[in-house]
Amino acid sequence: MALELISSSKSFGGFQKIFKHSSKETGCSMTFAAYIPPQVAAAADGDTSKKFPVLYWLSGLTCTEKNFIEKSGFQRFAAEAGIVVIGPDTSPRGCNIEGEEDAYDFGTGAGFYVDATEEKWKKNYRMYSYVTKELPVVVAANFPVDPSRQSIFGHSAGGHGALICFLKNPGQYRSVSAFAPISNPSVAPWGIKAFTGYLGSNQDAWKQYDATHLIGQYTGEKVEILIDQGGADDNKANQLLPQNFEEAAKIAGHPLRYRDQEGYDHGYYFVASFIGDHFKHHAKFLA
């Protein structure tokens, strides 16, 4: 479980680090980003038993662990709140699977946070288990985090990932939020492509990774979900389908704060504009 430090840069009094480690779930080496807020070093001088809350960030298609840490400006808010922020890469890489580099929306950079069952992909493409099981154990073993205070959020395919990780694991995460999530992947082109490739043609299997389906089955505490969606996001009407999730949440009686943000597109300028609100949202639950 040894971690290799790739880089470390001081930011807002804390440190933005990137690590690499060998993953059992994905059968390859994985990188992840870890922001360590200034309160951690301050505590290490005194009370070393102090543990900090941890917030997981999942990025979207084409991303590595770098997009969020370089473009969102989140470190200011993590430093203020004293929250450790972990952001994994979005897929296994370099597994020598035929076709893995052929598309921006499938294979490398597009693990889609599922455990593949199709023969070609099932050995390595296990991002669901990597994010929900292996990575939290690695993080708890290497950083002073309190595993009873974790939450999750993400963007686009990573917003889909955050919603399903939360909804499939009642009690594991205290809260969830998303920017422009792929909300109903079973009926949207990106989702259909990923699910067909990783899970095969059985649509019952797809539903187990579809937030719009899962919210009706969720048995845990109904904590409010925060979703921000850009009103000028070209993907909204055909890929993201937030209205389907909104409708399903209403039927399930699950509180949802859905905000249509007029004029914003799908990119990280949009994420950066509202990232502070998402930290406020999670800090309430992680206190």
Ligand X SMILES: N[C@@H](CCC(=O)N[C@@H](CS)C(=O)NCC(=O)O)C(=O)O
Residue selected from 126, 266, 281, 282 as contacting ligand X according to rule CB under 6 A: 266
Shortest distance, CB of residue 105 to ligand X, whole angstroms?
7
- Report, in Å, the least distance between residue 266 CB and ligand X: 5
Half-sphere exposure of 13 (CA within 13 A, CB side): 15
Binding segment for ligand X among 28-36, 80-88, 154-162, 170-178 (CB under 6 A)? 154-162
Residue 269 binds to ligand X (criterion: CB under 6 A) = no
In the structure encoding, which two tokens stand for residue 106, read together? 């499938």
- In contact, 220 and 171? CB cutoff 8 Å: yes
Q: Hey, is 157 helix, strand or coil?
A: helix
Task: Let me know if 233 is a catalytic residue.
Answer: yes
Q: Which is nearer to ligand X, 35 or 52 (CB)?
A: 35
Rounded to the nearest 10°, the torsion over CA 44, 47, 53, 54 is: 30
Q: Phi and psi (nearest 5°) for 258?
A: -100, 125
Q: How far is the CB of 276 from ligand X (least distance, A)?
A: 19
Q: Do the strands 176-179 and 145-155 form a parallel or antiparallel pair, or are they unpaired?
A: parallel
The yes-or-no answer on residue 266 being catalytic is yes
Q: Is 194 exposed, middle or buried (0-12, 13-18, 19+ CB in 10 A)?
A: buried
According to DSSP, the residues that pair with 16 across neighbouring strands are 9, 35
- With respect to ligand X, which residue has the nearer C-beta, 216 or 267? 267
By CB under 6 A, the count of residues binding ligand X is 13
The active-site residue out of 155, 160, 213, 266 is 266
- Of the candidates 186, 233, 281, 282, the residue annotated as catalytic is 233
Beta strands in 37-168 (DSSP E): 52-58, 84-88, 145-155
Is residue 183 a contact point for ligand X (CB under 6 A)? no
Q: Is 157 one of the binding residues for ligand X (CB under 6 A)? A: yes
Minimum distance of ligand X from residue 195's CB (angstroms): 16
| Residue list 105-144, contact with ligand X (CB under 6 A) | none
- Judged by beta carbon, residue 71 or residue 120, the one nearer ligand X is 71
The set of residues, in sequence order, having a beta carbon less than 8 Å from that of 157 and lying 6+ positions away, is 58, 59, 60, 61, 90, 110, 112, 113, 182, 190, 194
Contact pick of 19, 268, 274, 279 for ligand X (by CB under 6 A) = 268
Q: Which stretch binds ligand X (CB under 6 A): 23-31, 95-103, 149-157, 274-282?
A: 149-157
CA 271 vs CA 142, 233, 264, 279: distances in Å = 28, 12, 9, 12
- Annotated active-site residue 8? The verdict is no
Instruction: Pull the structure tokens for residue 172.
Output: 């594991």
Closest approach, Cβ 239 to ligand X, in A, equals 9
Distance of closest approach, residue 64 Cβ to ligand X, in angstroms = 9
Say which residues have a Cβ less than 8 Å from residue 58's Cβ, sequence separation at least 6. 87, 88, 90, 113, 131, 152, 153, 154, 155, 157, 158, 159, 161, 162, 165
Range 7-66, binding ligand X (CB under 6 A): 60-63
Binding segment for ligand X (CB under 6 A), chosen from 7-15, 18-26, 77-85, 261-269, is 261-269
Report the candidate in 264, 173, 160, 153 with the shortest Cα–Cα distance to residue 210: 160
Q: Which among 11, 72, 156, 183 is annotated as catalytic? A: 156
Which residues form the catalytic set?
Answer: 156, 233, 266
Q: Which residues bind ligand X (CB under 6 A)?
A: 60-63, 67, 71, 104, 155-157, 266-268
